């Protein structure tokens, strides 16, 4: 036996411990590279989000320009149509056209007071003269088949901006056309909508005034210094876009993630070492247990093979070292842990049922309060039920007499019923537990609003391993032992169990016990 132990210990050392050490050293050496890769990924993601906001605002302005161009080409009732456009799009204050001949001076197409029209026209006339070289470039772009829109600040009008582009009239005459936009309204009506879509619940996006380095709009509270990325806002001169992760900066997020990965790596190594020590000192017991392994495997159903296959696949993938990112490793560890817990629950259910069926399980009968058992179990399930979105109701009878029973077994019975109610509830999630005294019997009722049970299946649901072969019940994982265990416990307490159910109308399990 000692020689066998030495061989097994040597194999464990060579096959498991040494690879873990080598993998740990390697992971520590590449941790800094992973941080840089994460920074790059975050940077690209932030750049893409800001680009999408810019692109959207640019597309909106281009659509306005296209509509104005179509109205000018049509040549009919231009002023009325431009006024309608301004009403349709609140950020548009006015539209101007200017060019040779009668358009030598800018003409405002929307109706405003003559004094204001004259003042704005004069400022734009001066702007066109001062920016003649830039305006000439717009004509050049247009002749080459590209309509470029250029933005210009209007002197003395801090909240207005002029977007110029070149178009043609019905007579094929080139005109310079401009859209006067209210900056504040454009930000609140146009840019804010795209920010809401692009930011989701993970990012804060802000519009920044470059003149004052202050935030004029953001989808959630943020400080200017916390904005990790800034990008020029294409449409509005002297404004920029800024972005930040909600709750933390990109640098702190990466640092936290690296620390978590390091802690996880150390924890896993410690667990492996503890596991190796445990295996070594318990190898004698494991050899003895190997004799019953074939008997256990012969009784494993498809429900057992699935988690075993997943655990094996992901464990081998991790052991081979092919997984390079910590995020993927964490995902695999989570899957392995979840499937192991699922496997453990199935095995425990089988063993408990085996003990009940063979009569080996001993009950400790005493006077117990059914209300207290319901309170304890529902209290332990409260977080789980709330997390799953269930509405839970408890209607407990006042001064309910005690009954003679095993507290642990009755708790297990109630847990199985609650588990079933949770698993087989679909869209409507409501569970109600009721206790009552009816004649000389104490009644416990567990009612859900789940998928229900057809009449042909109701007589068989308490049989061991029986599972309904269609619908959600078939797709939900389980061994088919839960209700069989419940029935055994009820009958061991000289009680009775009945079910009232119909497809789509939920199920109610009613259990009655004799008084103590």
CATH number at residue 129: 3.30.450
Same domain (yes/no): 106, 200: no
Domain boundary among 250, 266, 283: 250
Same domain (yes/no): 107, 205: no
Q: Residue 151: which residues within 8 A CB-CB, separation 6 or more?
A: 161, 162, 163, 164, 235, 236, 237
Task: Decide: pTM greater than 0.75.
Answer: no
Kindly state whether residue 381 falls inside one of the protein's structural domains. yes
Residue of 335 and 441 predicted with greater confidence: 441
Is 208:214 a contact under the CB 8 Å cutoff? yes
Kindly state whether residue 408 falls inside one of the protein's structural domains. yes
User: Which candidate, 409, 419, 416, places its Cα nearest to that of 484?
Assistant: 416
pLDDT at 31 over 70: no
Most confident residue range from 95-109, 248-262, 286-300, 442-456 = 442-456
Kindly state whether residue 116 falls inside one of the protein's structural domains. yes
Residue of 250 and 178 predicted with greater confidence: 178
In degrees and rounded to multiples of 5, residue 419 shows phi and psi of -60, -45
DSSP string, 395-415: EPPTTPPPEEE-HHHHHHHHH
Residue of 377 and 468 predicted with greater confidence: 377
Same domain (yes/no): 245, 379: no
Kindly state whether residue 280 falls inside one of the protein's structural domains. no
pLDDT at 34: 63
Most confident residue range from 21-35, 171-185, 231-245, 475-489 = 231-245
pLDDT at 2 over 60: no
pLDDT at 284: 60
Tell me the CATH number at 496: 3.30.565.10
The DSSP symbol for 189 reads: I
Give the total number of structural domains in the chain. Answer: 3
Is 241:54 a contact under the CB 8 Å cutoff? yes
pLDDT at 390: 85
Range of the domain at 135: 73-185
Same domain (yes/no): 381, 490: yes
pLDDT at 349: 67
Same domain (yes/no): 238, 96: no
Same domain (yes/no): 374, 509: yes
Kindly state whether residue 281 falls inside one of the protein's structural domains. no
Same domain (yes/no): 374, 485: yes
Confidence category of residue 241, pLDDT binned at 50, 70, 90: very high
Same domain (yes/no): 231, 154: no
CB atoms within 10 A of CB 298: 7
User: Cα angle at 261 between 273 and 313, to 5 degrees?
Assistant: 65
Same domain (yes/no): 112, 147: yes
Kindly state whether residue 333 falls inside one of the protein's structural domains. no
Q: Which two tokens stand for residue 397?
A: 């009878």
Domain boundary among 164, 185, 206: 185
Same domain (yes/no): 446, 481: yes
Sign of the dihedral through C-alpha 277, 282, 283, 289: negative
Kindly state whether residue 2 falls inside one of the protein's structural domains. no
For 498-514, how does the pLDDT look when each residue is reduced to its tens digit (9 = 90+)? 888 888 888 888 888 88
Same domain (yes/no): 164, 53: no
For 433-488, how does the pLDDT look when each residue is reduced to its tens digit (9 = 90+)? 989 888 888 888 888 888 888 877 777 777 765 666 555 444 455 556 678 888 88
Domain boundary among 185, 214, 234: 185
Same domain (yes/no): 230, 373: no
- Average pLDDT along the chain: 78
Kindly state whether residue 273 falls inside one of the protein's structural domains. no
pLDDT at 489: 86
């Amino acid at each position: 036996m000692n020689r066998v132990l030495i061989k097994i210990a040597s194999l464990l050392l060579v096959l498991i411990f040494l690879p873990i050490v080598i993998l740990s050293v390697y992971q520590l050496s590449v941790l800094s590279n992973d941080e840089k890769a994460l920074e790059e990924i975050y940077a690209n993601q932030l750049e893409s989000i800001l680009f999408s906001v810019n692109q959207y605002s640019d597309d909106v302005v281009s659509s306005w320009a296209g509509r104005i161009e179509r109205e000018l080409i049509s040549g009919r009732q231009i002023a009325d149509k431009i006024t309608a456009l301004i009403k349709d799009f609140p950020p548009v204050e006015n539209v101007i056209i200017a060019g040779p001949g009668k358009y030598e001076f800018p003409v405002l197409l929307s109706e405003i007071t003559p004094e204001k029209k004259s003042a704005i026209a004069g400022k734009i006339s001066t702007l066109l003269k001062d920016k003649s070289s830039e305006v000439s470039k717009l004509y050049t772009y247009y002749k080459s088949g590209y309509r470029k829109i250029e933005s210009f600040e209007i002197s003395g009008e801090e909240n207005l901006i002029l977007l110029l582009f070149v178009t043609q009239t019905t007579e094929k005459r080139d005109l310079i056309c401009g859209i006067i936009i209210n900056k504040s309204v454009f930000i609140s009506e146009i840019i804010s909508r795209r920010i809401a879509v692009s930011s989701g619940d993970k990012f804060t996006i802000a519009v920044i005034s470059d003149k004052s380095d202050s935030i004029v709009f953001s989808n959630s509270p943020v400080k200017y210094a916390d904005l990790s990325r800034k990008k020029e806002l294409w449409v509005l001169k002297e404004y920029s876009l800024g972005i930040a992760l909600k709750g933390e900066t990109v640098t702190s997020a990466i640092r936290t993630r690296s620390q978590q990965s390091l802690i996880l790596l150390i924890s896993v190594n410690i667990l492996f070492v503890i596991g190796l020590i445990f295996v070594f000192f318990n190898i004698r017991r494991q050899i003895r247990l190997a004799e019953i392994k074939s008997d256990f495997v012969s009784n494993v159903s498809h429900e057992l093979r699935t988690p075993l296959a997943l655990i094996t696949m992901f464990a081998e993938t991790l052991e081979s070292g092919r997984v390079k990112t910590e995020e993927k490793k964490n995902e695999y560890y989570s899957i392995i842990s979840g499937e192991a817990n699922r496997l453990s629950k199935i095995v425990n259910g089988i063993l408990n049922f085996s003990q009940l069926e063979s009569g080996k399980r001993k009950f400790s009968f005493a006077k117990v309060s059914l209300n207290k058992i319901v309170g304890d179990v529902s209290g332990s399930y409260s977080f789980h039920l709330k997390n799953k979105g269930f509405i839970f109701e408890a209607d407990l009878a006042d001064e309910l007499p005690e009954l003679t029973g095993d507290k642990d077994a009755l708790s297990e019975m109630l847990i199985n019923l609650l588990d079933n109610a949770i698993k087989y509830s679909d869209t409507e999630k409501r569970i109600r537990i009721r206790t009552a005294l009816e004649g000389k019997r104490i009644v416990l009722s567990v009612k859900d609003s789940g998928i229900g049970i057809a009449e042909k299946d109701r007589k068989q649901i308490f049989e061991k391993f029986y599972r309904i072969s269609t619908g959600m019940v078939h797709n939900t994982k389980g061994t088919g032992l839960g209700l069989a265990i419940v029935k055994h416990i009820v009958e061991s307490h000289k009680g009775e169990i009945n079910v009232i159910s119909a497809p789509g109308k939920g199920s109610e399990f009613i259990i009655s016990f004799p008084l103590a």
